[in-house]
Every structure is written in C-alpha cells, then in structure tokens.
Amino acid sequence: MANSTVKPATGKLGIMVVGLGAVSTTFITGVLMTRKGLAKPVGSMTQLDKIRVGRGADKKYLPYKDIVPMPTLDDLVFAAWDVFPANAYESAINAEVLKEKDIDPVKDELMAIKPMKAAFDRNYAKRLDGNNVKQCRDRWDMTEQIREDIRNFKRESGVDRVVVLWAASTEIYVAPDMKYHGTLADLEAAMKADRTDVIAPSMCYAYAALMEDAPFVMGAPNTTVDIPAMWELAEKTHMPIAGKYFKTGQTLVKSGFAPIIGTRMLGLNGWFSTNILGNRDGLVLDEPANFRTKEVSKLSTLESILVADNQPDLYSDYYHKVRINYYPPRNDNKEGWDNIDIFGWMGYPMQIKIDFLCRDSILAAPLCLDLALLIDLARRAGRCGTQRFLSFFLKSPMHDYTQNEIPVNHLFQQYVMLKNAIREMGGYEADEEID
C-alpha cells in the first residue's frame, strides 16, 4: 500500500442482511464455502479483480487488498432479519438456487444463522406473509427495535464493525415527498407520527443502521436512502450509504451494451426489455405497486447513456419499454430478453436480440460481498454520504436529483470511478479520466 490513510481492517466485520432469501443465502453460503477452499468467489471484484496503479516503470496490477486494507473472508460474521423463521440452511435449501452438495459442507454454520424478527408492513409487500415479525407501536418504535438488534449483535458476536445490507424484496413505490423526506427533522417527525404511507420499513432499517454506526447499502430499487433526509443523516453520523438495486442481469447487459451503440455512432429506434422470473422477487413484483418501484429504476439506465441532446439524429426519438413477468417454473433462473431496433448508414434498420438466461442470485451474491466490503472500506477511509464510486454494482445509482445531477450508468465509466476511488484510498494517483 502506497500512503493509504485508511484505517486498518482490524477485528471482525459483521454483515447484517435484511432478508434471508435466495440472494442472501447464496451469498453467505458462497463465502463460507470459499473460506473452506471448496468454492471460488467468481464474479467478485474485491476477490479477483486487479487494478493498475502507477504509470510507466512504476506500473503494477494489484488485487484490491494490496492497494487498500481489506478484511479477509475469515473476518466476516453474518446475521439476518426475515419475515420467515427458517434458518439460513433451511432457507438456502428452500430457495433451490444451490445444490444440496454445495450447501451441506457448511450446514452447521448456516443453521446457526437464525433470522431475527423482521420489521415488516404487509402493505409494502402484499404478496409476502411471514410470521417472524416485530410487533411495533409505530415507525419510531420499529426503528428503535432494529437499533437494539444491531447493538445486541455487536455485543454477542464481538464484531469490530457492522454494515447493513438490504437484500429483501422490493417495496411498493414511495415517491420522494419533501414534506416528509426533505429534512432529517421532517423524517423523524413522520416516523413519530406513524406516517406509514410515507415511511417504508426499509427507511427504519436505514435510519437505525446509520444511528448505530453502520453503513447502509440498498440492494432493491426502494426509495429508502435516496432522499435528502437520509443524505443529511449520513452526513450527520459521518456514515457512507449506497444504492440502489443490485445490478445483476438485464441492466448489466444494458449498461454494457448501450455503450457499443453509442460509441459506434449507430442510431436507436427502440429497446424492448422483458424478464421472466419465478422466485420470491418475481412474486412480489407481480404486484403492480411493487413493479412500479422497479420500473422507475430500470427505465433511467438507457437515457443517461444514449442522450438525445448529445446526438439528436441518433437518439431523439427511441421507444424504451421494460416488462417483468412472474413465471413460477423458472424459480431463480431468470430470463432477460432484449429486442433492440437500431439503424445504421442512411437510416437502414437492423436488429439485435440478446437472450440472457441468468441466475439472479448467482449474479447478486458477489455484488453483496463487494458492496459490503467496499462500503466498510469507505467508512474506514472517512467517507460519508452517497458513495458514487459504487455505481458499478448498482442498477439505479443514487445521485442528487434535487440539483438535477445525472447519474453515471455507463458500465465502463462506472468502472473508472471504482478504480479511481480505490487508487485514491490506497494513496495512489486517481489517474483515469471519465470521457
């Protein structure tokens, strides 16, 4: 490490996950299997990627842990909340993502992870109905109970630091309303007044995490930390936040493929995206109000990469449609199908079709690991507020929409942001430009 000013990664890092379903059990099982030498952390940037530092004769390609102080996988301790009482082993078996032979070697460790009662409001996810749920007087009480869970976990596990990661279902869409979400005082007043229509349970988790010195990552498209009140709380508590929505299948393709069209100066007439998926996420998204949350996040990706103002002849009038269909036979094996209508020389039309038969949790698991480790790094580096360098991992990167900031959705520009932040925290020069 050059002259890194980042605090060392001493002691254990607690990762508290909201939701002990397909994504989080795949993530936790993979970490436990990898540290036993029985699996490889494929897809994880923090474990496998190398970044160039220095130029010319000083040029080196180093793994992240050799640039900045990082915890090892042995340093991680897990806890979770869930509306269902099944432990991590039972839940991993139920999810049917991993084969039993890839779960059994860490069965004992998984069985020891029993979910705490979830802070849950059925109005926010009508298709879910678990009984492992907190009884809360109001949203303020809900927040206080979560804070107590975090304190208890720290005390009982002896971890040095904690991060909280949302890997639960998509809530119904909560539009940012500056009367309640504009300032921290407004948010707290709405919690105390039990304004359940504007305070989602996820906001209680985020508030509790930040108040208990834990960075917070939003892995669903929920509004949660993407409001000025939470930005204010993150500054006040000096905690980093990141969101929103793990970039797994179709949006990963879009953020990587749209740059091909834009870089090659080809035109776009339309981009139709449809998904079929059958896991709990698909079930929840079958509810129109929950789908709205996802649609809002997925529609913005393309528009910030292929910009009409920059190339009116190519991108002034394309049609962009996103569909998600719940289809139980697929379970966690999602199919993302993109039909792209482009035009080339003299306006002649062409088509591109991409059929991505992906496994949602297999793609999301390494993102959980990377986001947890990197937001802990940001915290040790003294960074607070929205961590834009983590946009690489997220479908709908948080940005200051009150100032009309446009988020970076272009995958390769996001990768430059990630590399530059790691270089900077490692005491090297942040030497790549975002063109």
| Beta-bridge mates of residue 16 | 79, 164
Residues 6+ apart with CB under 8 A from 188: 140
Is the same domain home to 330 and 218? no
Per-position b or e across 213-238, b if 16+ CB within 10 A of its CB: ebbbbbbbbbbbbbbbbbbbbbeebe
Number of domains in the chain: 2
Q: What percent of the chain has pLDDT over 90?
A: 84
- Residue 290 pLDDT > 80: no
Q: Place 168 in a pLDDT band, splitting at 50, 70 and 90.
A: very high
Span 335-356, pLDDT tens digits:
999 999 999 999 999 999 999 9
Q: Are 75 and 163 in contact (CB under 8 A)?
A: no
Residue with tokens 């947890």: 372
Residue 291 has pLDDT above 70, yes or no: no
Domain match, 354 and 371 both: no
pLDDT at residue 403 is higher than 80: yes
Among 335, 359, 383, the domain-final residue is 359
Q: Which of 305, 328, 359 is the last residue of a domain?
A: 359
* Residue 431 domain-assigned (yes or no): no
Look up residue 282 and give its two tokens: 């698909």
**Which amino acid, residue 175?**
A
Secondary structure (H, E, C), 187-243 = HHHHHHCCCCCCCCHHHHHHHHHHHCCCCEEECCCCCCCCCHHHHHHHHHHCCEEEE
What is the rounded CA–CA span in Å between residue 269 and residue 271? 7
Does a structural domain hold residue 101?
yes
What pLDDT shows up at residue 97?
Answer: 93
- 5 is a domain residue: no
Q: What is the pTM of this model?
A: 0.94
- C-alpha dihedral sign at 416, 417, 421, 422: negative
Establish if 224 belongs to a structural domain: yes
pLDDT per position as a tens digit, 186-220: 999 999 999 999 999 999 999 999 999 999 999 99
Per-residue tokens: 57: 């004769």
Asked if 172 and 287 count as a contact pair (C-beta separation under 8 A), the reply is yes
Whether 231 and 279 have beta carbons less than 8 Å apart is answered as: no
- pLDDT number for residue 126: 85
Is the per-residue pLDDT at 298 higher than 60?
no
Question: For position 333, what pLDDT does the model report?
Answer: 84
Collapsed DSSP state (helix, strand, coil) of residue 168: coil
Residue 432 lies inside a defined structural domain of this protein: no
What is the dihedral sign for C-alpha 120, 296, 215, 110? positive
Torsion angles phi and psi, residue 248, rounded to 5 = -105, -75
Among 410, 414, 417, CA closest to 432:
417
Instruction: Using the structure block, give the residue that is written with the tokens 């449609």.
Output: 321
CA–CA separation, 116 vs 40, rounded Å?
29
d(CA 63, CA 198): 43
List the CATH number of the domain containing 110. 3.40.50.720
Q: 39 is in which domain, residue-wise? A: 13-246+362-425
Confidence class of residue 282 from pLDDT cuts 50, 70 and 90?
low
Give the separation between CA 366 and CA 252, rounded to whole angstroms: 14
Q: Is residue 8 part of a domain?
A: no
pLDDT band at 326 (very low <50, low <70, confident <90, very high): confident
Q: What is the DSSP letter of 332?
A: T
pLDDT of residue 418: 98
Helix (H) or strand (E) holding 415: helix 411-425
Strands 76-82 and 116-117: parallel
Average pLDDT, the chain: 94
